[in-house]
């Protein structure tokens, strides 16, 4: 007699986990380190440049973010960012450029669904959750600070 569906599913998952190729850990980690480091290094060059132009530390920081976001949007549009991501892994996700990439990629993909529900909505497929949890946790921190400072 066949086993109940739940157990079959569990067995199947176990089998898949065993057969599934393990991620090449060292290569992935090295890729993440090098590409994540390089993007931060580019950021540092920009930061130093903007500070050299007489911008305050904070203004130079926001100018750097905006520039990196522009570059990431451009390279995503050209199809280059996703090529780099194959080698960079998390190194291309964690920097602010990865955030920009996560906005442009789905928006471009779903362009055919129109400007509102395609581009407009899909820009926030991943940015939406990031803003929700970021804004909520920062608000919570400030609330605690207000009551317990």
Partner 1 sequence: MIFLKAFVVGGLFCVVAQLLMDLTTHKVTPAHILVGYVVGGVVLSAFGLYQPLIDWAGAGATVPITGFGHLLAQGTIQGVGQKGILGAFSGGLAAAATGITAAVIFGYLAAIFFKPKG
What radius of gyration do the chain's Cα atoms show?
21
Which of 102, 38, 96, 46 is CA-nearest to residue 69?
A: 96
**How many residues sit in the footprint of partner 1 (CB under 8 A)?**
80
**For residues 2 and 79, which CB has a smaller minimum distance to partner 1 in the complex?**
79
Build a one-symbol-per-residue string for 86-125: x at contacts with partner 1 by CB under 8 A, - elsewhere.
--xxxx-xxxxxxxx-xxx--xxx-x---x---xx-xx-x
Contacts of 77 (CB under 8 A, 6+ apart): 104, 108
Q: Which of residues 1-20 bind partner 1 (CB under 8 A)?
A: 17
Footprint of partner 1 on residues 19-78 (CB under 8 A)?
Answer: 23, 25, 28-29, 31-41, 43-48, 61-66, 68-70, 73-74, 76-78
Cα separation, 130 vs 100, whole angstroms: 12
């Amino acid at each position: 007699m066949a086993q109940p569906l739940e157990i079959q599913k569990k067995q199947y998952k176990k089998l898949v986990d065993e057969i599934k190729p393990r991620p090449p850990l060292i290569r992935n980690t090295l890729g993440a380190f090098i590409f994540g480091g390089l993007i931060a290094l580019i950021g540092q060059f920009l930061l130093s440049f903007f500070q050299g132009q007489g911008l305050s530390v904070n203004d130079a920081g926001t100018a750097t973010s905006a520039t990196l976001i522009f570059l990431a949007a451009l390279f995503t549009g050209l199809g280059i960012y996703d090529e780099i991501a194959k080698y960079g892994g998390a190194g291309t996700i964690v920097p602010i450029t990865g955030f920009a990439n996560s906005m442009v990629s789905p928006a471009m993909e779903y362009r055919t669904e129109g400007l509102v529900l395609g581009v407009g909505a899909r820009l926030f497929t991943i940015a939406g959750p990031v803003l929700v949890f970021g804004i909520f946790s920062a608000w919570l921190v400030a609330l605690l600070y207000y009551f317990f400072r």
